[in-house]
Amino acid sequence: MPWGVQPSRRRFLASASALPILAFAGGAMARSISGTLPWQAFAGEPPKPVNPLGWFFFTPDEVATVEAIVDRLIPADSLSVGGKAAGCAVFIDRQLAGAFGKSSKLYMKGPFANGLPTQGYQGTLTPEGRYRDGLRALNDHVRTGHAKSFAQLAPHDQDAMLAGLESGQLDLKLAQGLSTRAFFELVLQNTMEGFFADPLYGGNKGMVGWKLVGFPGARYDYRDHIEKHNVPYPKGPISIYGES
Amino acid sequence: MAQLLPHKDVVIMGLGWTGAILAQELTESGLDVVAIERGPWRDTATDFNIGYMPDELRFAIRKELFLQPAQEAMTMRNSVAQTAMPMRDYSSFLPGSGVGGAGVHWNGFNWRFFPNEFQAKTHLTKRYGAKRLNELQLEDWGITYDELEQSYDKFEYVCGTSGKAGNLKGQIIDGGNPFEGPRSREYPLPPLKMPYSSTLFADAAKGLGLHPFPLPASNMSKPYVNSLGVALGECTYCGYCERFGCANYSKAAPQTTILPVLMKKSNFEVRTECEVLKINLRPDGKTAKSVTYIDTAGREYEQPGDIILLCGYGLMNVRMMLLSGIGHAYDPNTGKGTVGRNYCYQTQGSAARLFYEGKHFNPFVASGALSSGLDDFNSDVFDHSALDFVGGANISCGTSNGRPIGNRPTPPGTARWGAQWKKATAETYQNATAIGGQGSSYPTRGNYLDLDPTYKDRHGRSLLRITFDFPDNDLRMSRYISDQLAKIGKAMNPKQMVVSHATKGWNSVPYQTTHNTGGASMGAKPDTSAVNKYLQSWDVSNVFVLGASAFQQNEGRNPTGTVGALAYWAAEAIRDQYLKKPGPLVQA
Ligand SMILES: Cc1cc2nc3c(=O)[nH]c(=O)nc-3n(C[C@H](O)[C@H](O)[C@H](O)COP(=O)(O)OP(=O)(O)OC[C@H]3O[C@@H](n4cnc5c(N)ncnc54)[C@H](O)[C@@H]3O)c2cc1C
Ligand code: SF4
Q: pLDDT tens digit string along B249-276?
A: 999 999 999 999 999 999 999 999 999 9
Residue B72: pLDDT above 50?
Answer: yes
Q: Is B463 in the pocket of ligand 1 (CB under 6 A)?
A: no
CA distance A65 to B18: 51
CB B282 within 8 Å of CB B288 = yes
Chain A residues 128-147 with a CB less than 8 Å from chain B = none
Task: Tell me the shortest Cα–Cα distance from B38 to chain A, in angstroms.
Answer: 9
Angle at CA of residue B15, ends B11 and B19, nearest 5°: 65
Q: Which helix (H) or strand (E) holds B393?
A: strand B393-398
Averaged pLDDT for residues B357-362 = 98
Chain A residues 170-229 with a CB less than 8 Å from chain B = 188, 191-193, 196-198, 201, 209-210, 212-223, 225-227, 229
pLDDT class of A4 with cuts at 50, 70, 90? very low
Q: Is B252 in the pocket of ligand 1 (CB under 6 A)?
A: no
Q: Is B38 in the pocket of ligand 1 (CB under 6 A)?
A: yes
Residue from the list A28, A80, A104 with its beta carbon closest to the beta carbon of B70? A104
Q: Is B155 in the pocket of ligand 1 (CB under 6 A)?
A: no
Share of chain B above pLDDT 70, in %: 100
User: Across the interface, do A29 and B40 touch by the CB < 8 Å criterion?
Assistant: yes
Distances (CA, A) of B197 to A230, B252, B411, B423, B430: 9, 24, 17, 23, 11
pLDDT class of B397 with cuts at 50, 70, 90? very high
Task: Tell me the shortest Cα–Cα distance from B496 to chain A, in angstroms.
Answer: 18
Residue A13: pLDDT above 50?
Answer: no
Averaged pLDDT for residues B74-96 = 98
Q: Is B560 in the pocket of ligand 1 (CB under 6 A)?
A: yes
Residue B225 has a CB neighbour count (10 Å cut-off) of 11
Q: Does A240 touch chain B (CB under 8 A)?
A: yes
Q: pLDDT tens digit string along A73-87?
A: 999 999 999 999 999
User: Across the interface, do A47 and B52 touch by the CB < 8 Å criterion?
Assistant: yes
**Cα B244 to averaged position of ligand 2 atoms, centre (Å):** 9
CA distance B472 to B137: 13
Q: Does B237 touch chain A (CB under 8 A)?
A: yes
Averaged pLDDT for residues A7-18 = 36
Q: Is B159 in the pocket of ligand 1 (CB under 6 A)?
A: no
- Looking at residue A217, the DSSP 8-state letter turns out to be B
Task: Tell me the shortest Cα–Cα distance from B181 to chain A, in angstroms.
Answer: 30
Residue from the list A74, A111, A240 with its beta carbon closest to the beta carbon of B55? A240
Residue B250 sits in a domain whose CATH number is 3.50.50.60
Of all ligands present, the nearest one to the C-alpha of B317 is 1
Q: Is B37 in the pocket of ligand 1 (CB under 6 A)?
A: yes
CA distance B107 to B64: 16
The dihedral through the CA atoms of B275, B514, B548, B105 has a sign that is: positive
> Looking at the domain assignment, is residue B587 inside a domain?
no
Q: Does B377 touch chain A (CB under 8 A)?
A: no
Cα–Cα nearest to B265, from B35, B101, B579: B35
pLDDT class of A244 with cuts at 50, 70, 90? confident
Model pLDDT, residue A12: 34
**Residue B73 corresponds to which amino acid?**
A
Angle at CA of residue B355, ends B409 and B214, nearest 5°: 90
> Looking at the domain assignment, is residue B227 inside a domain?
yes
Task: Tell me the shortest Cα–Cα distance from B16 to chain A, in angstroms.
Answer: 15
The dihedral through the CA atoms of B215, B220, B223, B227 has a sign that is: positive
- The residue contributing the CA closest to ligand 2 atom 1 is B367
User: Across the interface, do A44 and B52 touch by the CB < 8 Å criterion?
Assistant: yes
User: Across the interface, do B56 and A197 touch by the CB < 8 Å criterion?
Assistant: yes
Residue B550 has a CB neighbour count (10 Å cut-off) of 31
DSSP-derived pairing of the beta strands B33-36 and B8-13: parallel
Lowest mean pLDDT among A4-18, A123-137, A224-238, B214-228: A4-18
Residue B346: pLDDT above 80?
Answer: yes
**Terminal alpha carbon distance of chain B:** 37
Quote the longest CA-to-CA distance of chain A: 71
When scoring B192, B364, B459 by the number of chain A Cβ atoms within 10 A, the one with the most, hence best to mutate, is B364
Lowest mean pLDDT among A45-54, B86-95, B434-443, B502-511: A45-54
pLDDT class of A19 with cuts at 50, 70, 90? very low
Burial of B174: CB neighbours in 10 Å, binned 0-12, 13-18, 19+: exposed
Angle at CA of residue B366, ends B195 and B229, nearest 5°: 105
Q: Does B76 touch chain A (CB under 8 A)?
A: yes
Relative orientation angle of helices A88-97 and A127-146, to the nearest 10 degrees: 130
Averaged pLDDT for residues B425-452 = 98
Averaged pLDDT for residues B418-425 = 98
Chain A residues 147-176 with a CB less than 8 Å from chain B = 159, 162, 166
User: Across the interface, do B266 and A17 touch by the CB < 8 Å criterion?
Assistant: yes
DSSP of A159-212: HHHHHHHHHT-S----STT--HHHHHHHHHHHHHHHHHS-GGGS-SGGGHHHHH
Averaged pLDDT for residues B421-432 = 98
Averaged pLDDT for residues B467-490 = 98
Averaged pLDDT for residues B277-289 = 98
State the average pLDDT for chain A: 88
> Looking at the domain assignment, is residue B11 inside a domain?
yes
Q: Is B311 in the pocket of ligand 1 (CB under 6 A)?
A: yes
Q: Is B219 in the pocket of ligand 2 (CB under 6 A)?
A: yes
User: Across the interface, do A22 and B271 touch by the CB < 8 Å criterion?
Assistant: yes
Q: pLDDT tens digit string along B448-464?
A: 999 999 999 999 999 99
Model pLDDT, residue A5: 35
> Looking at the domain assignment, is residue B588 inside a domain?
no
User: Across the interface, do B273 and A118 touch by the CB < 8 Å criterion?
Assistant: no
Residue from the list A100, A215, A230 with its beta carbon closest to the beta carbon of B402? A215
Model pLDDT, residue A96: 98
CB A210 within 8 Å of CB A217 = yes
CA distance B461 to B63: 25
Q: Is B217 in the pocket of ligand 1 (CB under 6 A)?
A: no
Relative orientation angle of helices A127-146 and A155-167, to the nearest 10 degrees: 130
Residue A7: pLDDT above 50?
Answer: no
Total of domains in chain B: 1
Residue A172 makes CB contacts below 8 A (sequence gap 6+) with A134, A137, A138, A141, A165, A180, A183
Residue from the list A28, A107, A220 with its beta carbon closest to the beta carbon of B88? A107
Cα–Cα nearest to A174, from A183, A161, A165: A183
B328 is catalytic: no
pLDDT class of A44 with cuts at 50, 70, 90? confident
pLDDT class of B308 with cuts at 50, 70, 90? very high
Task: Tell me the shortest Cα–Cα distance from B240 to chain A, in angstroms.
Answer: 8
pLDDT class of A10 with cuts at 50, 70, 90? very low
Ligand 2 atom with least separation from CA of B370:
1
Residue A205: pLDDT above 70?
Answer: yes
Q: Where are the domains of chain A?
A: 60-109+117-215
Averaged pLDDT for residues B528-535 = 98
Count H helices and E strands in chain A, helices first. Answer: 8, 1
Rg of chain A over CA atoms, in angstroms? 22
Averaged pLDDT for residues A197-226 = 98
Q: Does residue B22 come out as left (phi exceeding 0), alpha (psi in the -120 to 50 range) or beta?
A: alpha
- The residue contributing the CA closest to ligand 2 atom 8 is B246
User: Across the interface, do A192 and B405 touch by the CB < 8 Å criterion?
Assistant: yes
Q: Which residues of B touch A83 (CB under 8 A)?
A: none
Q: pLDDT tens digit string along B513-525?
A: 999 999 999 999 9
Task: Tell me the shortest Cα–Cα distance from A64 to chain B, in angstroms.
Answer: 19
**Cα B344 to averaged position of ligand 1 atoms, centre (Å):** 16
CA distance B74 to B158: 33
> Looking at the domain assignment, is residue B347 inside a domain?
yes
Catalytic residue, from B105, B211, B384, B515: name it: B515
User: Across the interface, do A106 and B360 touch by the CB < 8 Å criterion?
Assistant: no
Q: pLDDT tens digit string along B3-12?
A: 999 999 999 9
Assign 3-state DSSP to chain A and report helix, strand, coil percentages, each to 5.
45, 0, 55
Model pLDDT, residue A2: 35
Strand partners, B354: B433, B497
Of all ligands present, the nearest one to the C-alpha of B108 is 1
Residue A1: pLDDT above 70?
Answer: no
pTM equals: 0.96
**Residue A117 corresponds to which amino acid?**
P
State the average pLDDT for chain B: 98
User: Across the interface, do B273 and A105 touch by the CB < 8 Å criterion?
Assistant: no
pLDDT class of A46 with cuts at 50, 70, 90? confident
